[in-house]
Amino acid sequence: MSQDREERLAAMLAAIPYMKFLGMTAELAGDEMTAILPFAPHLVGNVMIPALHGGVIGAFLEMTALCQLAVREPLRRQPKTIDVTIEYLRPGRAQTTYARADVRKIGRRIANVHVEAWQDHRASPVAALRGHFLLSVPEAEGAKS
């Protein structure tokens, strides 16, 4: 249900202190989520350009993946990141950054998610992430193993 999705996303945005530290938000259009990172001076990593810190861009991409997983289906607990590969394509300028995540595969325990971030043009991404995330094992199964 779209209302459930909205509620799950809103709950996650409200619950995670680090998303507030980044100043990150997200919007839903049906099942399609766009994460938004408004520019803020404390996100800068290179004052000369100025450019967003590469770690901030990576963090934003990872958080986008976690939000997309929460939107997709109710989760008992937040998934754990297993690994991420972050590719930096262009400097992240001092302006708003957007990201969308694509859940490429979701199994019983592991999800594979691709995320792309852009600023002015979606066709010119600033960075991309591929990652694996460990989903919480259902109670009964967890007790057995």
Partner 1 sequence: MIGARMATNTPQAAALNFRLVSVDPSGAAMAVPWREDLVGDPDTGVMAGGVITTLLDHVCGLSVSCAVIAADGGFMEFGMATLDLRIDYMRSAEPRREVIALARCYKLTRSIAFVRATAYEDDEANPIATVQAAFAFTGPRPSQGAGA
Q: Classify the C-alpha dihedral 80-62-74-15 as positive or negative.
A: positive
Q: Which is nearer to partner 1, 14 or 123 (CB)?
A: 14
Smallest distance from the beta carbon of 31 to partner 1, in angstroms? 24
Q: Which is nearer to partner 1, 87 or 102 (CB)?
A: 87
Smallest distance from the beta carbon of 14 to partner 1, in angstroms? 10
Note the residues at the interface with partner 1 (CB under 8 A): 15-18, 20-22, 41-48, 53-56, 58-60, 62-63, 77-78, 80-88, 91
> What is the amino acid identity at position 118?
W
| Three-point CA angle 66, 20, 70, nearest 5° | 20
Smallest distance from the beta carbon of 30 to partner 1, in angstroms? 27
Q: Which is nearer to partner 1, 2 or 136 (CB)?
A: 136
| DSSP tag of 36 | E
Q: Which is nearer to partner 1, 2 or 85 (CB)?
A: 85
Long-range contacts (CB closer than 8 Å, 24 or more residues apart) made by 117-120: 117/37, 117/57, 117/60, 117/61, 117/64, 117/92, 119/92, 119/93, 119/95, 120/95
